[in-house]
Amino acid sequence: MPGMTATTAPLQHGRLGVEDPATGRLIQEVPVASGDAVREMASGARQARRAWAEAGFSARAEVFAAARRWLIANQDRVRGVICSETGKTHDDAQVEVTVAAQSFAFWARHAEKYLADERRRTASPLAFGRRVTIRYAPVGVVGVIGPWNYPLVNAFCDCVPALMAGNAVIMKPSEVTPLTGLLCKEMMDAAGAPPGVFELAVGARETGEALVDEVDFVMFTGSTRTGQAVMERAARTLTPVSLELGGKDPMIVCADADVERAANAAAYYGLNNAGQVCISVERVYVEAPIYDEFVGRLVENVKGLRQGPPTAPGESEVGAITSPPQVEIIDAHVRDARDKGASVLTGGRARNGDGRFYEPTVIVGVDHTMACMRDETFGPTIPVMRVADTEEAIRLANDSRYGLQASVFSRDRSKAAAIARRLECGAVCINDAQVNYTVFDAPMGGWKTSGVGSRHGAGGIRKYCKTQTIVGSGPPLKRDLHMFPYTPKRSRLLAAFAKRVYGR
């Protein structure tokens, strides 16, 4: 999921030009935050975070309740801004608004439960009778670096648990899509967030590097290559990171699957947001007995989709390509597949005219020598491969450096669950795809080069905290090892005690 690579050059005098991908026109110029400005933000955030942490969960939840009301009241405006800078359809933009509203409510309700002190019964014979308490303390100032494909959900929604944990947050939106970030800042100010608790740093590489240098924790969503650069820079200051990176998510369609459901899911989850989704269906493996029927239904479905600028809700299903270099990557993958013998059954070209559009594309006759089956395409293409059986499908699905998500389609749910457990990825959906992202109760994270750490669930908020273990807060025993002076007698008692406990 590309996120930090500059695709829109900053204009002179420290301003950034924001382009509408669906029309090619310049929308707005936005001031860029220099490295010095980021350092000033971090200094202010450190001063503001203590009072924010001490305010408690209820006070922070009230701010997010107000933010949720603001978002719902202004959803048409927010959706319009998202459409204008990403080129996505109104329906895809509405998904962002809906999931964000869900995120605000979830973390406001569950943060305190996830971060409550934990009591442990120790197995250590040296600490019998002592109370062991684990507490979660906010890490301090969190830097969130967001991607261009989901500027609300995959940028600001990572700020929500960090803020609810009692941290201050500085968010750097993608330089391609900063306008949604400006709305988030307006929303948090309107919701009553104290000054300095949530800041926005608009910019490209210099801004991002300064942010990594200044904060106590980095949450990054973007490409694997850029994630590696973020991790390397964070290592200089031993700053912990959480990285949600690229994916090449496979779909396995078993011979006993509901073919219509599987074909509909492949079309929707392969092409929603014009395929610019980290957990998009990027390659499909279909068992031979139903391959022809599946491909026929899929092609019929894709041919009926409408593509164009987001003029009004419900008028198009497939939007524009947000980042200019992405069009070249998509086309290179399609041309590589053609050159190696694959067939394009529909689509396969960038559209002429204003805006950046690539036709919804179905490719067959593919194999793992082709880039479209190995590398992240991040566009509206669906390559489909015939396999002999599920064993071949599992082997090919796992033949990837990525491991973000997968999906399995079968009428036999027990079989599908067994297949899911053999797939090397962080999440698997059965007879569906992508829906795990909305399950905030469970972790979402990648294996292999698809990421480090996870978002959502208990770990999704605890990562923004430091742990502290307190031992001995209970009443001491009347007679324990520490009642004896530090003498040879104490050593003999300890040896006898160990022999009794451990049998040696």
Q: Which residues are catalytic?
A: 244, 278
CA 398/CA 428 separation, integer angstroms:
13
Backbone angles phi, psi at 369, to 5 degrees: -80, -10
Strands 427-430 and 405-409: parallel
DSSP 153: I
CA torsion 450-35-192-75 (nearest 10°) is -50
Backbone angles phi, psi at 117, to 5 degrees: -55, 140
CA 337/CA 359 separation, integer angstroms:
16
CA 256/CA 89 separation, integer angstroms:
34
CA 246/CA 226 separation, integer angstroms:
10
Q: Which residues pair with 344 in a beta bridge?
A: 363
447 burial (CB, 10 Å; 0-12 / 13-18 / 19+) is: middle
Q: Where are the beta strands (DSSP E) in 341-433?
A: 343-346, 361-364, 381-387, 402-403, 405-409, 427-430
SS (H, E, C) 275-325: HCCCCCEEEEEEEHHHHHHHHHHHHHHHHCCCECCCCCCCCCCECCCCCHH
